Structure 1
Amino acid sequence: MTDQPSLSFFARFWLAFVCFWRIWFDQAFAQAVLPVREADKASKLPSGVPPSELPAGPTEQKPPEKKEPVAALPPEREHAPALQILAMLQREGRFIDFLQEDVAAFPDADVGVAARIVHEGCRKVLRQYLTLEPVLPQSEGDRVNVPAGFDAQRTRLTGNVAGQPPYTGVLKHRGWVTTAVKFPTTSPAMDPRVLAPAEVELP
């Protein structure tokens, strides 16, 4: 193979200029130059390492996909758990019926009998589906200490509240906290707005 004469800077510049435009507008010329380009790339690979095992170059970053906004639940579905509790209290203790009545027109004895029925049914719901414990273990009427940094959501101060904790006061109500919830799941096909169906007795 004969030695090729070296090209000057201006000769290389002119050759690059001509090739650049010919590659743009002459498909056959570009196809002929491509093997030379591939051979030049292969000659620069590390010896003994196949191209498939070389680390991949930087990939083109794709723009993040736009996520469709999640449709807001209708009010009846968003508040379905609360409506479910009302339905249970109604089913077991006629809770809604009792609250919808104008008890002011009834004698105290009749109100007491109705309240006993409501109390029994609603208490059954609480014990079946919720585990409740008092916030404070002391008995109502005992003197209790409220330390500094107390949880204001669990302990509410009443009366003459002044200065900074710790405080000492009388326990008026022990409070309640739920430690376990065992509500059954409801079918999506059911309308949670129906707290109690209408009852029609057929002859």
Structure 2
Amino acid sequence: MGRLGLAFKILFSGETAKKVSDALTNAPAGLPEPAAKPKPQPPPKPTRSEAITLLSALQREARFVDFIQEPIDGYNDAQVGAAVREIHRGCHDVLTRMFAPTPIVDQPEGATVEVSDPASGAYRLTGQVAQTSGAVSGQLVHHGWVANKCEVPKWSGEGESADVIAAAEVQIS
């Protein structure tokens, strides 16, 4: 029987149509099922360390890396002090915006303070420290800092520039 004859038989015979339908839906065992085509995955977005992003912000807004990398032995104290004023202001702005740091202990240095939980990571006991599990008191040497937020901006650059703190500047004449 040719293809045309088979087509008419399927079209006009319910029994033949059912057999063909069953044969098409119930593939015999042993024949592999067609594999689903995998979706192409988009390439992963380049990543950048948040530490590099922080350094980049400190460089952009305070020229921090330039200052730290510059040998200052040849400068007098007045020149260094003048440079530090702007660097200090810019670094303060970056840290405040990204981390909002506040003192852990709101007392002046030298004040006597009581530490109710000396085992917490918020305190570092120095001097004659005995093994104790209770509250201790002592003189405040440094008030400590706690970050009230951590909002380092997400980087959206290209992969090859992930480690760039500050791009090289070239003026074309």
1:156 maps to a residue whose letter is R
Which of 172, 179, 192 is equivalent to 2:162? 192
Deviation at 1:81, TM superposition (A): 0.4
| Structure 1 counterpart SS, 2:149 | strand
Which of 125, 128, 131 is equivalent to 1:157? 125
| Counterparts of 1:192 and 1:160, CA distance in 2 | 47
2:111 maps to a residue whose letter is D
| Structure 1 counterpart SS, 2:143 | coil
Any gaps of 5 or more consecutive residues in structure 2?
1-45
Deviation at 1:105, TM superposition (A): 2.0
CA contact (8 A) 2:101 2:148 kept: yes
Q: Partner residue of 1:178?
A: 147
Q: Partner residue of 2:72?
A: 103
Q: Partner residue of 1:48?
A: none
Q: Partner residue of 1:85?
A: 54
Any gaps of 5 or more consecutive residues in structure 1?
1-75
Deviation at 1:163, TM superposition (A): 4.4
Higher CA-based Rg: 1
Identity of aligned residues (%): 38
2:70 maps to a residue whose letter is E
- For residues 81-127 of structure 1, the C-alpha deviation after alignment (integer angstroms, 9 at most, x for no partner) is 01100000000001001110111221011110111111011111112
Aligned length: 127
TM superposition score normalised by structure 2? 0.66
| Structure 2 counterpart SS, 1:180 | coil
Deviation at 1:182, TM superposition (A): 2.3
- For residues 173-192 of structure 1, the C-alpha deviation after alignment (integer angstroms, 9 at most, x for no partner) is 11111111222211152522
Deviation at 1:172, TM superposition (A): 1.1
Which of 65, 84, 98 is equivalent to 1:129? 98
Deviation at 1:166, TM superposition (A): 2.7
| Counterparts of 1:201 and 1:113, CA distance in 2 | 27
1:202 maps to a residue whose letter is I
| Structure 1 counterpart SS, 2:96 | helix
| Counterparts of 1:202 and 1:86, CA distance in 2 | 27
Deviation at 1:129, TM superposition (A): 1.9
Q: Which runs of 4+ in 1 moved over 4 A?
A: none
2:121 maps to a residue whose letter is Q
| Counterparts of 2:85 and 2:162, CA distance in 1 | 27
